[in-house]
Structure 1
């Protein structure tokens, strides 16, 4: 019985020792095998791996592509027009041994330390690259070359951290708030000036059209009056010719017609009063049946 218990204990210890010497590397991870704090092996391929129990330990690092958002930074391009830039980077741990030596930490803490140092590298490269071009180049839609230059500069500096910078992107590029307000005010003033110019040109065109219309009215009115005077003169001439012809045909009848027209014009309806001598020639055709005295 005692020998069986001892055998079982030995088997249990052997099993625990065997299990503690086996570890699994996930396909999303890399692993370092440490012995008394010193790296003795690097496991980058997924699968089962072995270590010495008790005296060796395993530290895992993320092997996936990681993303890092930078806080907005202010840059000054060549034209001294300050800009606020938002950027982000994608990176991965390329050399896990170098990464551990550079960060001096393990696990999530090492990622945080590396992230802060990578932020410093990206900010420095962003200020340097964007400070060498004009703001129009930065604000244009074709700024892929600038992002490529920032990434290439960050790659060289990040190698010391054991990191591989895969991509750097500028998410948003704006003016600072105080500059933005001044720019909006300047744009508003420019648009108001353009509107004033447009209104002035419109008023000038309106006055020109109005003057042309007034001139046309005067010309048309003058032409109409001239034509009317000509027609009236011709009508008066025709009327006088008809009167002359009628007078020549029958002078007595013409005088009678003229007297009737004078009576109609003088003796109007209503209260007409005439002060005239009774023997005036005006009443010749009223006093005589023959129309003469």
Structure 2
């Protein structure tokens, strides 16, 4: 009984020691085995691994591709046109042993601060060596490649591998932006005024052409109307002359009756004529004369 009581704690301690000597390396991580702060082994393959309990400790680092945002950075290209640039980088821990030696216990936070300094310096240097038009054009992919290649060399000392660097946003500073907008607005207003002036000039030309065409058409129509009217009058006079020549007495009788009709309509002015006037020749008769 006393022997059993003695062995039980030993067995428990042995099990605890065995369990503390085991650790699992995740497939998304890399592990370092440290002994008194010194790296003694690197575990990069996923699975079960061993360490010395109480003497050694395990530190894990993410083995996946990580992203790092680079805050707004003001640069001055060759043409002295200041720009504000936002960028981001993708990187991974390539050498965990060197990474641990470079950043110590600070880990990812310290490494990202140093990576920020590297990226900012490279962005300033590369973008400061070209004009703003090159930065704002589609050719800036070449500039991003230059930044990445320069950052790769410096980040290698931290045990990091820079995979990609991208410029997200490239804008003018707020003060310059407002001045640029004002200049663009004035330019567009000037172009609009030019277009309006050209439109009014074209409208005036069209209106003048339409007025001239109208005058020409009206003149031509009046000329043709006068010609037709003259031909009709000539034709009418010819008919009257022909009819007059055939029966002169009937023609005079017809004209007299037409004069009677025109002069004796209701509402016409009064006429004072002598009864012996020739105007009443065709109203006189032997019966009417006898009665008088």
For residue 3 of structure 1, report the CA deviation from its aligned partner.
Answer: 4.5
TM, length-normalised to structure 1: 0.85
2:213 pairs, out of 205, 212, 216, with 216
- 1:7–1:234 CA distance, 2 compared to 1 (3 A): closer
1:42 deviates by 2.7
Is 1:122–2:108 an aligned residue pair?
A: no
Moved more, 116-125 or 73-82: 73-82
Give per-residue Cα distances to partners, 1:229-266, cap 9 Å, x unaligned.
Answer: 11111222222222222222222222222222222232
SS at match of 1:232: helix
Q: Residue in 2 aligned with 1:25?
A: 25
2:104 — aligned with what? 104
> SS at 1:129's partner residue?
helix
Mapping of residues 72-87 of structure 1, within 5 Å: 72-87=72-87
Give the match's secondary structure for 1:110.
Answer: helix
* SS at structure 2 position matched to 1:71: strand
Q: Does 1:273 align with 2:270?
A: yes
Structure 1 residue 131, shift from structure 2 partner: 2.5
Structure 2's unaligned 5+ residue stretches are: 287-292
Q: Measure, in 1, the Cα distance between the counterparts of 2:203 and 2:97.
A: 81
Q: Which residue number corresponds to residue 143 of structure 1?
A: 140
Stretch moving more, 67-76 or 158-167 = 67-76
Q: 2:255 matched to 1:258?
A: yes
Alignment map for 1:32-181 (pairs within 5 Å): 32-105=32-105, 109-181=106-178
Please give the secondary structure, in 2, of the residue aligned with 1:212. helix
Taking a change above 3 Å as real, the CA distance of residues 79 and 278 of structure 1, as seen in their structure-2 partners, is: farther
Alignment of 1:219-238 (within 5 A): 219-238=216-235
- Cα shift at 1:165: 0.7
Shift of 1:158: 0.9
Deviation larger for 8-17 or 34-43: 8-17
Q: Distance in 2 between the 1:237 and 1:23 partners?
A: 129
Aligned partners of 1:248, 1:12: CA distance in 2, in Å?
159
1:91 is displaced (CA, Å) by 0.9
Aligned residue pairs total: 286
Partner of 1:199: 196
- Change over 3 Å in CA distance of 1:247–1:116 after alignment to 2: same
Normalised TM-score (structure 2): 0.85
Cα gap change, 1:28 to 1:279, in 2 (>3 Å): same
- CA–CA distance in structure 1, aligned partners of residues 274 and 126 of structure 2: 120
Paired with 1:231 and 1:26, the residues of 2 have a C-alpha distance of: 110
For the pair 1:242 / 2:248, whether they are aligned, the reply is no
CA distance in 2, matches of 1:6, 1:279: 179
CA distance in 2, matches of 1:263, 1:7: 162
Distance in 2 of aligned mates of 1:36 and 1:130: 45
Can you list the C-alpha shifts for 1:67-125, whole angstroms capped at 9, x where unaligned? Answer: 111222223333333333222111111222222222232xxx42111111111211222
CA distance in 1, matches of 2:28, 2:241: 128
Q: Distance in 2 between matches of 1:212 and 1:25?
A: 90
Root-mean-square deviation over aligned CA pairs: 2.5
